[in-house]
Amino acid sequence: MSSASLRPAGEPDPDSIVTAVLDCSTVAGLSGGVAGEIATYLPGRRVAGLRIDDTTITVHVVGRYGPTMTEISNQVTRAVTPLGAGRRVGVVIEDLQVEERGSTRSAGPPDPYRPLADRPPSTRLH
């Protein structure tokens, strides 16, 4: 049974919203927040990074490094608004993902629990 068949008529479809957000070129992924507290709960599962209430859809994303925060927010808002059943759309940019020599890493602060040898030189704690 799909989430579409379980939701009342006129309610936003969380799966369609997630697909639209992940199709945004400025978005690397969704973020469930620091403790995974940002989510929409559906029967038997949760959709991390998305919160839907009676008036607002809030999307928490990890943006790609390069576009401005405004560009990321505007692209996500344009993608979600037609799916929102008249709700306002809020975008929270939790982090940025930076491309670094063939791999990706977060632009956030260095992880103090990650061994020094595994950290890029510019992020080593001294």
pLDDT at residue number 34: 83
- Find tokens 């379980």 and name the residue: 6
Full-model pTM: 0.73
pLDDT at residue number 10: 74
| Diameter of the chain measured on Cα atoms | 57
pLDDT at residue number 6: 57
Distance CA 94, CA 59 (A): 10
Q: Cβ(3)–Cβ(11) under 8 Å?
A: no
Task: Give me the residues of the chain with pLDDT under 70, please.
Answer: 1-9, 100-126
Which has the closest alpha carbon to 51: 66, 62, 36, 65? 36
pLDDT at residue number 77: 98
pLDDT at residue number 33: 87
